[in-house]
Amino acid sequence: MMTFLITFAAFFIVIVAMSVGYIFQNKTIAGSCGGLGAVGIEKACDCDNPCDKRKNKMAQEQIKISLIE
């Protein structure tokens, strides 16, 4: 039983340390292959006629970009 508790504690400490490191890096999770950009797709929604929700999001992004410039 003691071996189980020591092993559990060791794994728990490693998981907590990895979580804290991930939180403080403030980066998004990325795959090792480079994601969609590696295969030539520049955006997740690659359709000709996006839905209303996507159109609103794109409009808000354009407003943010115009405010920065």
Q: What integer pLDDT is reported at residue 7 of this predicted model?
A: 97
Structural contact between residues 33 and 41, judged by C-beta atoms closer than 8 angstroms: no
Mean pLDDT of 52-67: 83
Q: What integer pLDDT is reported at residue 32 of this predicted model?
A: 61
pLDDT digit string (tens) for 3-57?
Answer: 999 999 999 999 998 888 778 887 666 666 666 666 666 666 656 777 788 788 8
Domain spans, the chain: 1-28
What's this model's pTM, rounded to 2 decimal places?
0.39
Structural contact between residues 44 and 36, judged by C-beta atoms closer than 8 angstroms: yes
Q: What integer pLDDT is reported at residue 65 of this predicted model?
A: 81
Q: Which tokens go with 35?
A: 């994601």
Query: Could you give the CA distance from residue 67 to residue 69 in angstroms, rounded to a whole number?
Result: 6
